[in-house]
Amino acid sequence: MVILSKAAIEQFSYVRNKQAAALFPPLIPTVDLSKPDSKHHIIKACEEFGFFKVINHGVPMEFISRLESEATKFFSLPLSEKDKTGQPKPYGYGNKRIGSNGDVGWVEYLLLTANQDPNLATENPENFRDALNNYMAAVKKMACEILERVADGLKIQPRNVLSKLMMDEQSDSVFRLNHYPPCPDVVQSLNGNVIGFGEHTDPQIISVLRSNNTSGLQISLKDGSWISVPPDHHSFFINVGDSLQVMTNGRFKSVKHRVLANSIKSRLSMIYFCGPPLREKIAPLPSLMRGDQQSLYKEFTWFEYKRSAYNSRLADNRLMHFENIAAS
């Protein structure tokens, strides 16, 4: 666990959470990738939750533990050392400010492009870089397998129609390390909650998340209530992103999620955002359209949507600007 000094804690800002969690939350769907029928469970989870847990994922625990260790060392550095990595424009090190539109949280982070070696301000940058590359390669492979099982479950061909967007040399995938320090103010707040990372959906195709064994992640259900996701540092969690919602013409829903701060333990999360090439046109897949069914969304490129998303607040409905009014 990373222990922060009072001076380090004062680097952060926060906003309080006013929305309560569900009283009787459903169980988080779990998908066993070693099972031949996993594709059916993936489809059901994407339709009902936009979110699921993955076990027997094939990512070596050695890769996970090593990257977690290197990330912990990085976030333990003095702020002046972490700042040498560069300000997030959009890639680099940042704290409390999330994006450029006024969103803040009880978080510091390292945002990296998945296709280039990062500038890392650590004592042994090669160790950190090697840990990142091994982890990202293994997670990318797992994510491609999941997307191909999505294609199988939806009965669309070719089965790499989604995974090829990640495998493309120009894929715009992003990797993020988030560190949420212990927040002493949690115990003083009226409802015991302080927002670490505000509610939002992810704009990419899917996001692959894991964290240490500290709680904090919550997802929103269809009725607007929130449920806490029990931490499991041996497993991964998959978020449906806005792009996959569009490509399935709304059959899958991108999941709104947030992170609450913890008063005692720090939380470290790692997220691989599976993005298509900037030039890729995003629209409902023709093989999923039936008869005279209309597209719910206007066609757009990933570059256009990414630019719109980065110019929005976290909680904004980004897809609203790309909805096909004629189909509503």
| Residues noted as catalytic | 267
**Strand bridging mode 236-240 / 51-55:** antiparallel
* 293/249 Cα distance (integer angstroms): 10
* 33/47 Cα distance (integer angstroms): 18
* 259/109 Cα distance (integer angstroms): 13
* 220/199 Cα distance (integer angstroms): 9
- And the tokens for 262? 């913890």
**Which amino acid type is present at position 317?**
N
| Phi, psi for 211 (deg, rounded to 5) | -145, 170
* 326/280 Cα distance (integer angstroms): 24
* 297/251 Cα distance (integer angstroms): 12
Q: Which residues contact 24 (CB under 8 A, 6 or more apart)?
A: none
What's the distance, Cα to Cα, between the start and end of the chain in Å? 50
Q: 138, 137, 168, 128: which is closest to 54 by C-alpha? A: 138
Q: 63, 62, 166: which is closest to 115 by C-alpha? A: 166
The answer to whether 318 and 312 have CB atoms below 8 angstroms apart is: yes
Q: Which residues pair with 228 in a beta bridge?
A: 218
Cα-Cα-Cα-Cα dihedral of 286, 289, 294, 299, to 10°? -30
The answer to whether 218 and 227 have CB atoms below 8 angstroms apart is: yes
